[in-house]
Amino acid sequence: MRYNSQNINIQSLSSWFNGDYTTVDVLRLDRIHPVISGNKWFKLKYYLEAAERTGKNTIASFGGAYSNHIAALAYAGREHGLKTIGFIRGEAHSPLSHTLTAAQACGMELVFINRSDYRFKDAIIQTHADPGWYWIPEGGYGPEGARGASEILKLVDVSGYSHILCAVGTGTMMAGLVRTASANQEVIGISVMKGNEALQKAVDDLLDAGDQQKQHRILHDYHFGGYGKHPSNLVRFMQGLWENEQLPTDIVYTSKLLFAVKDCIEKKYFHKNSRLLVIHSGGLQGNNSLPPHTLPF
């Protein structure tokens, strides 16, 4: 899959420097591609490869109306000449969300599944069984996704960082980061869901016994009310981050991550002279669902 790795850079947040911390750097994966940004390129890579290797012509997956995974899959499928089908949670609303409109424009077929049936993914897969289809689990969760995400920390030299921080949805990206992190680094995931205590196990299930021993933890206090919730204090934080650092963030993942990092710094969570690498995993297309002019970027 093609992406523009030259655009990926590290941005230091100079206004956050408070004397106790050497560095807060942001790895700008969002700059890979103007439409489909961030970790989804990496997470999809080996699923696409497996689909092609096994001679499938169609990729099917699951997601909600604002899913970055669905948006990225639609785009990547078109790039690879594979048909894509998105099984979407809930009823079709008119007009469709920006995400789904964009997915459709890439050629994805959308199948809407009511919320009670959507919980039974295996039944959906059985009903639609087709030998030409390759199924990717919801959100790209799985070993292939983690394997792709394990390449994120190989893009740049990360050996000088003490902590790697990322937003967590399914935990796939975090597992990939833990795989590549070294024993003296700690990977900290910020859950964007309320009380998703199953995440730690979800991450560990994607790691072998050796990698499970590496330092990694998930913080659950920065969900801002739950998945997709973006109260006005979060939006104000995003506006400030843009004004002070010209760093664009998304309402679902990276704004909560950056808020958490700042809060942890202020609460002296990290030891002195920590060097933090914050993964900007993209997702900016999700901001299109906000009223126009909510954000200055």
Ligand X SMILES: *Cc1c(COP(=O)(O)O)cnc(C)c1O
Query: Residue from 61, 99, 170, 200 that binds ligand X (CB under 6 A)?
Result: 170
Query: Residue from 23, 39, 84, 249 that binds ligand X (CB under 6 A)?
Result: 39
Query: Residue from 277, 282, 287, 295 that binds ligand X (CB under 6 A)?
Result: 282
Q: Give dist(CA 132, CA 55) in Å, integer.
A: 7
Q: Would you call 112 exposed, middle or buried from its count of C-beta atoms within 10 A (0-12, 13-18, 19+)?
A: middle
Residue whose CB is less far from ligand X, 25 or 250: 250
Q: Give dist(CA 16, CA 266) in Å, integer.
A: 10
Q: Give dist(CA 275, CA 22) in Å, integer.
A: 6
- Minimum Å gap between C-beta 176 and ligand X is 8
Q: Give dist(CA 222, CA 30) in Å, integer.
A: 21
218 bridge partner residues: 189
Query: Residue from 64, 86, 148, 171 that binds ligand X (CB under 6 A)?
Result: 171
Q: Is position 191 an interface residue for ligand X (rule: CB under 6 A)?
A: no
End-to-end alpha carbon distance in the chain: 28
Residue nearest to ligand X (CB): 283
Residue whose CB is less far from ligand X, 104 or 137: 137
By CB under 6 A, how many residues form the interface with ligand X? 21
Contacts (Cβ under 8 Å, ≥6 apart) of 252: 66, 68, 192, 227, 228, 230, 283, 286
Q: Is position 142 an interface residue for ligand X (rule: CB under 6 A)?
A: no
Query: Residue from 23, 172, 249, 274 that binds ligand X (CB under 6 A)?
Result: 172
Half-sphere exposure (Cβ direction) of 267: Cα atoms closer than 13 Å: 7
Residue whose CB is less far from ligand X, 21 or 25: 25
Residue whose CB is less far from ligand X, 196 or 274: 196
The interface mask with ligand X, positions 203-242, x = CB under 6 A, is: ----------------------------------------
Q: Give dist(CA 72, CA 148) in Å, integer.
A: 14
Which residues make up the interface to ligand X (CB under 6 A)? 38-40, 43, 68-69, 139, 167-174, 250, 253-254, 281-283
